Amino acid sequence: MSSPIPTAHAREFAAAADIAGDCYYEHTVERGPARSALAGTVQVDVGIVGGGFAGLSAALELSARGYSVALLEAQRIASGASGRNGGQILPGFSCDIEVLARQLGEGDARRAWDLSIEGMEIARQRATGLDMDCEYRPGWVLYAARPSHVAKLRNWHAKLAGALGYGEHVEFVEHEGLAAWTSSQNYHAALVDHHAGQVNPLKLALAMAAACERQGVRIFENSPVTRIADGPSPVLATATGRLECKKVVIAANVFVADLDVPVRHHVMSIGNRIIATERLRPEVAERLLARGYAACDTNFLLDYYRVSSDNRMLWGGASTYLRHDAPHRFAVLRGKMVEAFPELSAVRIEHAWGGLIDVTMSRAPDFGQLGEDIYYLQGFSGHGLNVTAIAGRLAAEAIDGQRDRFDLIARIRHRNFPGGALLRRVGLALGASYYRLRDVLA
């Protein structure tokens, strides 16, 4: 017997739109008319819920393996975090490697790490190999925000160079060497990663969607799923049609929250914001961040930033666990940017936007199955560009009968966020306040 899984995508997207603002990336593309909504009955091998990086990655991988695929997106492709994020392609996961080692053991934690590096490579290949200039550039720097963070950063460098086999890509920079990388006086040491990179995320998502369609994937926009009927032949229902399929991949990111499935409690959405300055003179941009490398700091509630290909400073952070937007958060971001780079005090902010990202309690990714035929990919926790890339590949491998690598990540256990929707947000907001204070006092 089929079991209905109701959704309320409209409510989630309305909440996201409250902080959507004026996204800089939307000014760098021409989307064209919306794709058609699902109408009538369509039959495919695999139906995908969600048109962000995870869903698009799964669609690319599955169609390359010969499966017929249709993807349902509630709004436009990359309307969520995939089209609005910081654009940094980084190694690893949002959680510490020790989180994985405690559950998987040292050997399999290393295998998981290697998957994250493969995800970087997939993202890089797509950013440089598809029929769109996705503004890919290499390089990333992690700056020690406090003197007390230097030893931890040095230890992480040693682990990268040793047990994780990543040493050829990274170098540790002592305080006296920072002037070669940034004009900021705020930092105390740095870890430079020449293998990481950055990209215009919306361009990458749109390039992936176009590649999907060239491979025969059918993409339906403005098609929020209203019901998932499980069974021997799952059905994805929308207000105007039904998608009959053999397998389903749920890649709805934060919008899984309104699906009536147990794993919706594994993730919670948090608000995040980015500002973009007016264009800077090239020599100023190079002085702020040498070689155009992207950057972030070591605070728990971190700031991340980079210079765009047209020389704007893009500065992100100001996370909040409360769903309503606080306009002063953008002022907080600007204040942090100016604190790090006083010469930007007179620079105009031309774009400011926000969005929702999904996080798990441990910040580890959450992949798994609901019954035999429904797979889910979620919990990217702000580390989505590489993790979504490998997630799509692992889901495709599992559907194709090669389960080993998918099952490795699926072994990571996740706790539900405690309390109801309101109480858990209040609790997490208090926790965020604690970490904000810890960042200040460290």
DSSP string spanning 122-186?
HHHHHHHHSSS----EEEEEEE--SGGGHHHHHHHHHHHHTTTS-GGGEEEE-GGGGGGTBS-SS
Mean pLDDT of 127-144: 97
d(CA 317, CA 302): 6
pLDDT 10s digits, 178-217: 999 999 999 999 999 999 999 999 999 999 999 999 999 9
pLDDT 10s digits, 222-232: 999 988 888 78
Handedness of CA 396, 401, 405, 407 (dihedral sign): positive
Q: Are 416 and 265 in contact (CB under 8 A)?
A: yes
CA angle 258, 261, 263 (to 5 degrees): 95
Share of the chain above pLDDT 90, in %: 75
Mean pLDDT of 126-130: 97
Banded pLDDT at 20 (limits 50, 70, 90): low
In a 13 Å sphere around the CA of 238, the CA atoms on its Cβ side amount to: 29
Banded pLDDT at 437 (limits 50, 70, 90): very low
Q: CB-based contacts of 265: which residues, under 8 Å, 6+ apart?
A: 416, 417
Structure token digits, residue 142: 């992690």
Banded pLDDT at 106 (limits 50, 70, 90): very high
Mean pLDDT of 4-19: 36
Banded pLDDT at 19 (limits 50, 70, 90): low
Q: What is the DSSP string of 210-260?
A: HHHHHTT-EEESS----EEE-SSS-EEE-SSEEEEEEEEEE--GGGGGGSS
Residue 391: is its pLDDT beyond 90? yes
Residue 135: is its pLDDT beyond 90? yes
Q: Are 364 and 90 in contact (CB under 8 A)?
A: no
Residue 103: is its pLDDT beyond 60? yes
In a 13 Å sphere around the CA of 172, the CA atoms on its Cβ side amount to: 17
Structure token digits, residue 33: 């008319």
Residue 25: is its pLDDT beyond 50? yes
Give me the pLDDT at residue 283, please.
Answer: 97
pLDDT 10s digits, 42-101: 999 999 999 999 999 999 999 999 999 999 999 999 999 999 999 999 999 999 999 999
pLDDT 10s digits, 315-374: 998 666 554 445 667 888 999 999 999 999 999 999 999 888 888 889 999 999 998 999
Span of 201-205, 244-248, 249-253, 281-285 with lowest mean pLDDT: 249-253
Q: What is the pTM of this model?
A: 0.91
Banded pLDDT at 9 (limits 50, 70, 90): very low
Architecture of domain 9-428 in this structure? 3-Layer(bba) Sandwich (3.50)
Mean pLDDT of 264-282: 88
Residue 278: is its pLDDT beyond 60? yes
Give me the pLDDT at residue 13, please.
Answer: 31
What b/e readout covers 19-54, taking b as 16+ CB neighbours within 10 angstroms?
A: bbbebbbbeebeeeeebebbeeebebbbbbbbbbbb
